[in-house]
Amino acid sequence: MSQRNYIYTKEEEEIIDYIENGNPQSIPNVEEEMKKFQQIARNQTQKRKAVSIRLLEDDIKMIKAKSIRDGIPYQTLIASAVHKYANDYNQ
């Protein structure tokens, strides 16, 4: 196997140092964090169903503009809004 010279970012170097020193420390709320990431994983694996709806053209233009501002596809923005509404998120 050939040896490669990698250039790491500061964050990558900190991670490597953390692992190689063998001094890992748990975060104070590890159980809460684990539950949070487990829920995120479950949400990512849920089945999705295609739907067709009619929206006002001006609403679509505004949604597309906001999606560009936020750097996400407009369909993802719409799906996120529906998900938040369906799950009573108050944001």
Q: Can you give the pLDDT of all 91 residues of the chain as single tens digits?
A: 445 678 899 988 888 888 888 777 778 888 898 999 898 888 877 778 899 999 999 999 999 999 999 999 999 999 999 988 988 876 5
Residues 41 and 24: their CA atoms lie apart, in Å, by: 24
Give yes or no for a contact between 18 and 26, defined as CB atoms under 8 angstroms apart. Answer: no
Whether the model clears a pTM of 0.75, i.e. scores above it, the answer is: no
Give yes or no for a contact between 45 and 37, defined as CB atoms under 8 angstroms apart. Answer: no
Token duo for residue 20: 């190689």
Token duo for residue 44: 């990512």
Q: 73: which residues sit within 8 A by CB, 6+ positions away?
A: 67
Residue of 44, 41, 23 lying closest to 33 (CA atoms): 41
